């Protein structure tokens, strides 16, 4: 049995950023441990569907260990040793007893703690979860961790210039399809929704990306699902050397079932990421937290939230020990993606009436367009494709504006004054965003 003052359970992005914040807060050698079922120190997971799959100069560890994804220092394995942080790798925790503050591994090793930080992330949804016939075929792959990425790279090398079917039209589906096409695969995307990225994209936004991918030679089959490795629900059969499934993930919370309050499919926390069990915190994908900006509980699956929630939780832990306090987590939803030569960013909420602006012609040399969402007379979300760093900062300010405006309404006798702000996003493109 090993005992630690603090245990971070999970070895993904959030674990690395939490460890860095613990170090900033002055954690003492021997106080902190990271327990991870992965065999390597925490790394920036988004690299796996992008740079890791490049045909030339592919990203490899130690190049993308945390915290380089946010422009910080790369935390190599020796960094943890230097800080006195114990990395307990290749260790899967199968049982958690929060009452006795005890964790048990699959190898029957036990660990005790005083404060626990749950950063277990999500487990990938597999076709076998749905009882799909043929779902255990060797050519069906998934992408969640570096072991999955290595299997995919090996398959791509073994089936050069082959045919690939990507099941799913979300982040993973779009990014993997681009990576496979760059590697000269004949790629077909299959997804049941009427357009790609339906949780974020409107039909107008999706039309550009579907057209852009089609122009790159990627075949898109919408409105159906794969019921076997290559057979579609509509009866068509697709030939494939590789089938990659990217249909989402589930918060990995089963070791804590019945021990903590749950909501939105995750573990319920307060604005400091403490759960219903004192001394137990949950961050990143597994946390359902109060989103101050919209005054409701949310669960967010994105690397930006993983980083920031980790830092917030550690600051709150150390402040509580010192009898102090930290501000509540005030998060602005942020999502982004890059593929081929295009990249987009989105801030805020995609609810209300949407307005598409700019030229979303998928054949444009340098496409630049976007959309914004208006609810109750306020801009609540802004999407921009092809923006500069300055322009992306501008749309973030626009998306957050309703929070400040809402607090001012009382002094304005409940009346909201809209003003029109013209933003110049290129030499020849002007459009109007409505802000408070």
Residues 135 and 107 in one domain: no
Q: Which residues of the chain have pLDDT under 70?
A: 132-133, 226-233, 402-436
Q: Is 130 exposed, middle or buried (0-12, 13-18, 19+ CB in 10 A)?
A: exposed
Q: Which pLDDT score, from 0 to 100, does residue 399 have?
A: 93
CA atoms within 13 A on the CB side of 401: 26
What are the DSSP calls for 298-353, one per residue?
Answer: EE--SHHHHHHHHHHHHHHHHHHHTT---PPP----EEEEEETTEEEEEEE---SE
Cα 66 versus chain centre, distance: 15
Q: Which pLDDT score, from 0 to 100, does residue 237 have?
A: 75
pLDDT in tens, 63-78: 999 999 999 999 999 9
Cα–Cα distance for residue pair 232/137, rounded to 1 Å: 16
Residues 270 and 205 in one domain: no
330 part of a folded domain: no
7 part of a folded domain: yes
366 part of a folded domain: yes
Contact criterion met (CB below 8 Å) for 44 and 64: yes
CATH of the domain at 165: 3.50.50.60
CATH of the domain at 412: 3.30.390.30
232 part of a folded domain: yes
Tally the domains of the chain: 3
Cα–Cα distance for residue pair 67/71, rounded to 1 Å: 7
Q: Which pLDDT score, from 0 to 100, does residue 401 have?
A: 81
304 part of a folded domain: yes
Residues 273 and 241 in one domain: no
Q: Which pLDDT score, from 0 to 100, does residue 76 have?
A: 98
Range of the domain at 136: 127-247
């899967």: which residue's tokens? Answer: 92
Run of H or E residues at 393 = helix 389-408
Q: Which pLDDT score, from 0 to 100, does residue 419 have?
A: 35
388 part of a folded domain: yes
Run of H or E residues at 243 = strand 242-245
- Whole-prediction pTM: 0.90
Residues 119 and 145 in one domain: no
Q: Which pLDDT score, from 0 to 100, does residue 224 have?
A: 82
């Amino acid at each position: 049995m090993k005992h630690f003052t603090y245990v971070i359970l999970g070895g993904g992005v959030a674990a690395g950023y939490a460890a860095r914040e613990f170090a900033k807060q002055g954690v003492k050698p021997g106080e902190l441990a990271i327990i991870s079922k992965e065999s390597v120190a925490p790394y920036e997971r988004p690299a796996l569907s992008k740079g890791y799959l490049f045909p030339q100069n592919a990203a490899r560890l130690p190049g993308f260990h945390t915290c380089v994804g946010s422009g910080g220092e790369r935390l190599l394995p020796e960094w943890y040793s230097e800080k006195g942080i114990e990395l307990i790798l290749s260790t899967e925790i199968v049982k958690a007893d929060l009452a006795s503050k005890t964790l048990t591994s699959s190898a029957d090793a036990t660990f005790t703690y005083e404060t626990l930080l749950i950063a277990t992330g999500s487990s990938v949804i597999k076709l076998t979860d749905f009882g799909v016939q043929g779902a255990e075929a060797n050519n069906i792959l998934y992408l969640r961790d570096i072991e999955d990425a290595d299997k995919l790279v090996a398959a791509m090398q073994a089936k050069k210039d082959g045919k690939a079917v990507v099941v799913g039209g979300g982040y993973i589906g779009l990014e993997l399809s681009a990576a496979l096409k760059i590697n000269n695969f004949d790629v077909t995307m299959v997804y049941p929704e009427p357009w790609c990225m339906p949780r974020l994209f409107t039909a107008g936004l999706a039309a550009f990306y579907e057209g852009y991918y089609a122009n790159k030679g990627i075949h898109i089959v919408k409105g159906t699902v794969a019921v076997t490795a290559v057979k579609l629900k509509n009866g068509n059969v697709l030939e494939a050397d590789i089938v990659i499934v990217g249909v989402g993930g589930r918060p990995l919370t089963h070791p804590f079932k019945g021990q903590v309050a749950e909501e939105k499919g995750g573990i319920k926390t307060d604005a400091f990421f403490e759960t219903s069990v004192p001394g137990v915190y949950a961050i990143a994908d597994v946390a359902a937290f109060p989103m101050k900006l919209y005054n409701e509980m949310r669960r967010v699956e994105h690397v930006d939230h993983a980083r920031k929630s980790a830092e917030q939780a550690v600051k709150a832990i150390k402040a509580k020990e010192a009898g102090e306090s930290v501000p509540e987590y005030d998060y602005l939803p942020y999502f982004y993606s890059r593929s081929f030569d295009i990249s987009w960013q989105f801030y805020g909420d995609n609810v209300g009436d949407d307005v598409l602006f700019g030229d979303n012609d998928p054949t444009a040399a340098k496409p630049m367009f976007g959309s914004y969402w208006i609810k109750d007379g306020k801009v609540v979300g802004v999407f921009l494709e092809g923006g500069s760093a300055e322009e992306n900062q501008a749309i973030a300010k626009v998306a957050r504006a309703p929070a400040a405006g809402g607090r001012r309404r009382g002094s304005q006798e409940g009346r909201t004054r809209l003003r029109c702000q013209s933003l110049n996003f290129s030499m020849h493109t002007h459009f109007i965003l409505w802000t408070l």
